[in-house]
Each structure stands twice: as structure tokens, then as C-alpha cells.
């Protein structure tokens, strides 16, 4: 198999290897990548996925390996944001003719949008697909002790909606979907992260890193590249807190999936099971990994781990296909792949350019919101998912192709 990436190099910077053949890349995103590649602790090179686009703090769709330091803004504030999907034994024929009833049941079971005070209904035992927390309380029990320790070091985190947000979706591009695969089997899929408490952790340590830069008079290509040095208290506190936020995000998805399955059971009375093919993966996170014979910190900002044989999820936009993939373990990408299609324009630009009629046409056949408040999520605001998949054919293989029939947006 030939080389699928192109290399962008600059003076005094590590190479940037880009899996972007056939997909557009903004000049601003390239400039942002060049600045990140100038940081002295970048290991080997930066890997760029085909859904790449300009981000706040760091380029979305980038994989940043570091030695001896971490950039909190590269991880961002949506810490642990990711996907979860589970295949059921239901088929398309088992779905109700009126999918609006199913969407309403999901919206009732999983709080979504901007409200911080609500929480999902506690579900009963929902089957054998995994062993999730049986309720929000059981999920929080796995988080509370470590959170208490973190709050002793960073007291401001205590006043976040940490417990109340567990089991909730949030807003923006977070979603819950009912999908059909190529054989007509029903899949349940959702996208969310660590909610308000993750945002507070990210924001606190981003500011802490910036203060450290000012104290030590360190000049940066961009202030959002402020970093924490390994061996310092702030570094250790951040690694502990960000690890907890990633755990929160994973359990948050598990609680929502449990309640999602319960909502489907309340509408579809035919007994069904869910398969062990359930996938729960982050795409905004940092963790220690070994690459090219050395242990390094790998920050994936809008990218998914795609180690050899590892299952992952690459969603398209509303009205487009999504994919369950298996990683090929490409070392040059630090065993990574894209986390979705990637935006081609800002939310503001999408709202300016498109009308409700455009959104209705683009989401034809999908039971979802068709109002002005979701126009920023219109499919045309995203890259062509087929082109994105072709550009990373040496990173993953497609296991299942999914098409949504119900979509709940926050």
C-alpha cells in the first residue's frame, strides 16, 4: 500500500503529516498546525486527519504527541467527548411507522440542550450488551471519591454541575441517533462528553498554563499553545483531572445508552438484545502510549484511536452515512483516524448561508428537528464523508455502514 499522506514542513518545526488527499483544508488550519509543530516538545511529527479544520486552541483533527509537556488547549474543554454505539437484534421492519414517537421517547429519556438542572430517568436492567451503571447514582459512585480528591486541589470544580450533568447530552454537535446498517439491523448511537465539569477542568488548566508562560517569560507562536511541564504540580494535577474527566465522559455515555435502550423498549415491545459490538471511544483526550519505541503523551483533538484491530466510530453529519471501523494500526498516524466528517464552515456562516428549506431537504428521510436552531448542523456545513473515508483508507477498514433514521440534537 502506497503512502497516503502528504508532509508539510517549515523551518524550526517538526513535520506535519496530513491524510487530506481529496478533501479541503483551510489555510488558517494549516497555519495553526505549523505553529503547533514549532513547539520544542513535539515528538517525531504531528498527524493530521482528513476531517481537519480550524479549532479553538488547537486544530481539530490533529494528533499531537509530546514528551515532557502537555498543551491543555490542545485537549480543549470538551474533554473526553466521544461516541458510543451498540448493535441490536431489531431490524428495520421492527421500527414503528411513526418514528416521531420514537424520537419523543428518546428526548424524554435523555435530557438534552442547555438545561443544567435536569437528568435522565433511572433505567432498569436493559440487557446483556455490557454491564453499565444501573442509574446515574451508580455511575456517580464510580467517580465521586476521585472527584473529591481533585476538588481538594482545585476547589472551584466543586461548584460545577458535575453530578447533575451525568446522563445528559448537552448541545451543539452532540446527538443521539437510531441507525440502520447495510443488512437492515438497528443500531443505537450517541455523541457526548464530560459536559460542564470537563469544560471547567479544561478552562482552569488552560488559564493556569498561560499564567505559567507569563511567569517564566516564555514566548509562544500562539498563546493557546501554553503548556505545562512534566514534573510540576500543575502538570500532575492536570493529568489527574483530565483523566477523571475522560472517565466521566465514558460513564456519561454508558448511562445515556442504558436510558436510550430503555426508551426504545418502551416504544418497541418486541424483545431484543444488544450485541457485544458496542463501542465507547473518546475523540478529544490525552493518554500515555508507546510509539516508535518510546512512551509519549498523545493528544487526540478530534481524532480516534485506530490501533490494529480496534473498533471505532466515524459519524457523518445529519443526513449522511456513519461508519463502524476497525483500525489498521498505521504507525505514521500514531494509530489514529478521523472522528467524523469535519466542518467546512463555521456555525455562524452555516446559519447565514442556509435556510430552513435547505435543512428540510438535506435531512429528508430522517426523523429530526427541522427548525432554525439546528441549521448550523446542516449536512452541507460538513465535508463529504465519502471523501474523508477514502483519504484514510490506510488507517481503517469499514466494518459497518450506518444510515440514521432518527436524530436527536441537543
Is pLDDT above 50 for 226?
Answer: yes
Domain-located, residue 377: no
Tell me which of 173 and 118 has the higher pLDDT. 173
Q: Tell me, what DSSP letter sits at residue 112?
A: -
Question: Which of 50, 83, 85, 84 has the alpha carbon at shortest distance from 283?
Answer: 83
Q: How many CB atoms lie within 10 A of CB 341?
A: 26
Instruction: Name the band, by pLDDT with cuts 50, 70 and 90, for residue 56.
Output: confident
Domain-located, residue 353: no
What local confidence, expressed as pLDDT, does residue 47 receive? 98
Across 190-209, average pLDDT:
96
Domain-located, residue 395: yes
Tell me which of 373 and 18 has the higher pLDDT. 18
C-alpha cell at 32: 495553526
Is pLDDT above 90 for 388?
Answer: yes
State the average pLDDT for the chain.
91
What local confidence, expressed as pLDDT, does residue 133 receive? 47
Number of domains in the chain: 1
Domain-located, residue 358: no
Instruction: Name the band, by pLDDT with cuts 50, 70 and 90, for residue 172.
Output: confident
For residue 339, indicate whether it is catalytic: yes
Across 217-244, average pLDDT:
96
What local confidence, expressed as pLDDT, does residue 10 receive? 85
Domain-located, residue 1: no
- Of all residues in the chain, the percent with pLDDT exceeding 70 is 93
The pLDDT tens digits of the residues spanning 308-355 come to 999 999 998 877 899 999 999 999 999 999 999 988 888 899 999 999
Query: Which stretch of DSSP H or E encloses residue 286?
Result: strand 284-291
The pLDDT tens digits of the residues spanning 258-316 come to 999 999 999 999 999 997 566 899 999 999 999 999 999 999 999 999 999 999 999 98
What local confidence, expressed as pLDDT, does residue 3 receive? 74
What local confidence, expressed as pLDDT, does residue 2 receive? 59
Its domain, for residue 18, covers 6-315+323-344+382-409
Helix ranges, 91-171 (H): 99-109, 136-141, 144-153, 162-165
Instruction: Kindly tell me the sign of the dihedral angle through the C-alpha atoms of 241, 335, 294, 40.
Output: negative
Domain-located, residue 184: yes
- CATH code of residue 307: 3.90.1860.10
Q: Which of 45, 112, 204, 339 is catalytic?
A: 339
C-alpha cell at 52: 481537519
Rounded to 10 deg, the angle between the 233-267 and 195-215 helix axes is 160
What is the model's pTM?
A: 0.92
The pLDDT tens digits of the residues spanning 112-153 come to 876 443 443 333 233 322 333 457 999 999 999 999 999 999
Domain-located, residue 89: yes
Q: Tell me, what DSSP letter sits at residue 10?
A: -
What local confidence, expressed as pLDDT, does residue 134 receive? 57
Domain-located, residue 367: no
The pLDDT tens digits of the residues spanning 57-88 come to 889 999 999 999 999 999 999 999 999 999 99
Amino acid at each position: 500500500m502506497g503512502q497516503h499522506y502528504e508532509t508539510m514542513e517549515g523551518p524550526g518545526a517538526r513535520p506535519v503529516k496530513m491524510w487530506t488527499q481529496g478533501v479541503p483544508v483551510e489555510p488558517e488550519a494549516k497555519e495553526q498546525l505549523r505553529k503547533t509543530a514549532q513547539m520544542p516538545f513535539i515528538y517525531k511529527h504531528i498527524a493530521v486527519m482528513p476531517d481537519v479544520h480550524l479549532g479553538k486552541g488547537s486544530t481539530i483533527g490533529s494528533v499531537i504527541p509530546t514528551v515532557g509537556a502537555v498543551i491543555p488547549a490542545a485537549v480543549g474543554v470538551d474533554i473526553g467527548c466521544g461516541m458510543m454505539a451498540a448493535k441490536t437484534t431489531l431490524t428495520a421492519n421492527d421500527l414503528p411507522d411513526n418514528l416521531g414517537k420514537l424520537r419523543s421517547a428518546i428526548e424524554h429519556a435523555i435530557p438534552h440542550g442547555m438545561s443544567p438542572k435536569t437528568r435522565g430517568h433511572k433505567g432498569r436492567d436493559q440487557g446483556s450488551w455490557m454491564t453499565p451503571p444501573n442509574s446515574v447514582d451508580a455511575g456517580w459512585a464510580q467517580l465521586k471519591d476521585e472527584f473529591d480528591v481533585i476538588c481538594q486541589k482545585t476547589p472551584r470544580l466543586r461548584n460545577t454541575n458535575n453530578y447533575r450533568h451525568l446522563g445528559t447530552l448537552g448541545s451543539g454537535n452532540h446527538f443521539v441517533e437510531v441507525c440502520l446498517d447495510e443488512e437492515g439491523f438497528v443500531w443505537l448511537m450517541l455523541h457526548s462528553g464530560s459536559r460542564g465539569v470537563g469544560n471547567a477542568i479544561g478552562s482552569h488548566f488552560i488559564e493556569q498554563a498561560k499564567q505559567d508562560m507569563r511567569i517564566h517569560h516564555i514566548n509562544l507562536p500562539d498563546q493557546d499553545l501554553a503548556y505545562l511541564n512534566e514534573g510540576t504540580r500543575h502538570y500532575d494535577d492536570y493529568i489527574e483531572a483530565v483523566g477523571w474527566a475522560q472517565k466521566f465522559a465514558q460513564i456519561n455515555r454508558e448511562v445515556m445508552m442504558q436510558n436510550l435502550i430503555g426508551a426504545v423498549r418502551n416504544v418497541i415491545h418486541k424483545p431484543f438484545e444488544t450485541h457485544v459490538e458496542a463501542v465507547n471511544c473518546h475523540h478529544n483526550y490525552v493518554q500515555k502510549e508507546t510509539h516508535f519505541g518510546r512512551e509519549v503523551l498523545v493528544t487526540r483533538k478530534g481524532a480516534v484511536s485506530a490501533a490494529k484491530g480496534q473498533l471505532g466510530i466515524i459519524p457523518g453529519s445529519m443526513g449522511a452515512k456513519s461508519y463502524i471501523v476497525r483500525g489498521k494500526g498505521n504507525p505514521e498516524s500514531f494509530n489514529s483516524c478521523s472522528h467524523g466528517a469535519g466542518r467546512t464552515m463555521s456555525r455562524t456562516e452555516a446559519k447565514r448561508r442556509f435556510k430552513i428549506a435547505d435543512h428540510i431537504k438535506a435531512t429528508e428521510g430522517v426523523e429530526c428537528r427541522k427548525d432554525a436552531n439546528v441549521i448550523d448542523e446542516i449536512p452541507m456545513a460538513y465535508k463529504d464523508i465519502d471523501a474523508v473515508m477514502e483519504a484514510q483508507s490506510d488507517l481503517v477498514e469499514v466494518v459497518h455502514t450506518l444510515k440514521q433514521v432518527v436524530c436527536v440534537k441537543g
